[in-house]
């Protein structure tokens, strides 16, 4: 028995179109769009719309999922960085300063300035529109 890799991460969103637009603008590409069946997600009568987005090299992708039904009445709840569960997606990027400036111009909440980590990375974090933390990292050469 052997695990080869993590295939993808699923992210539930309230506004699939806005989330898709954010990640397309960020530089990911659409790998597919589909509807999911309730037997797969374990909710009776669930109807979802899904978009798979990945890096241009096809190595990593995420699945954005919007529940058409049933809906979650609690809405978006912004977690703290120390809230248990998956809290962020981390991307290795080029030209982190330009990406951070672009995100700021689009009104994104950048809650950490670009920091240097052990002379090997520049790191910065922001909240994307539905609250998840996006971590940006650029290798220092």
Residue-wise pLDDT for 67-119, tens only, equals 888 776 666 666 676 777 777 889 999 999 999 999 999 888 888 889 999 88
Tokens linked to 1 = 């028995």
- Quote the percentage of the chain above a pLDDT of 90: 43
User: Given this model, what pLDDT does residue 77 score?
Assistant: 67
Q: How far is CA 71 from CA 14, 66, 67, 86, 88, in A?
A: 9, 9, 6, 21, 23
- Whether the pLDDT of residue 29 is over 90: the answer is yes
Distance of CA 76 to the CA centre of its chain: 15
Q: Measured between alpha carbons, how far is 66 from 51 in angstroms, rounded to an integer? A: 9
Q: What is the pTM of this model?
A: 0.81
């Amino acid at each position: 028995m052997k695990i080869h890799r993590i295939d993808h991460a699923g992210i539930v969103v309230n506004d699939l179109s806005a989330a898709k637009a954010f990640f397309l603008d960020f530089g990911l590409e659409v790998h597919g769009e589909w509807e999911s069946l309730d037997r797969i997600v374990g909710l009776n009568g669930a109807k979802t719309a899904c978009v798979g987005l990945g890096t241009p090299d096809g190595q990593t992708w995420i699945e954005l999922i919007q529940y058409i039904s049933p809906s979650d009445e609690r809405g978006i709840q912004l977690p703290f960085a120390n809230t248990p569960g998956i809290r962020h997606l981390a991307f290795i990027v080029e030209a982190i300063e330009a990406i951070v400036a672009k995100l700021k111009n689009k009104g994104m909440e950048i809650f950490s300035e670009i920091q240097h980590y052990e002379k090997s990375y520049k790191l910065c974090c922001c909240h994307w529109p539905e609250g998840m933390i996006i971590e940006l990292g650029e290798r220092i050469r």
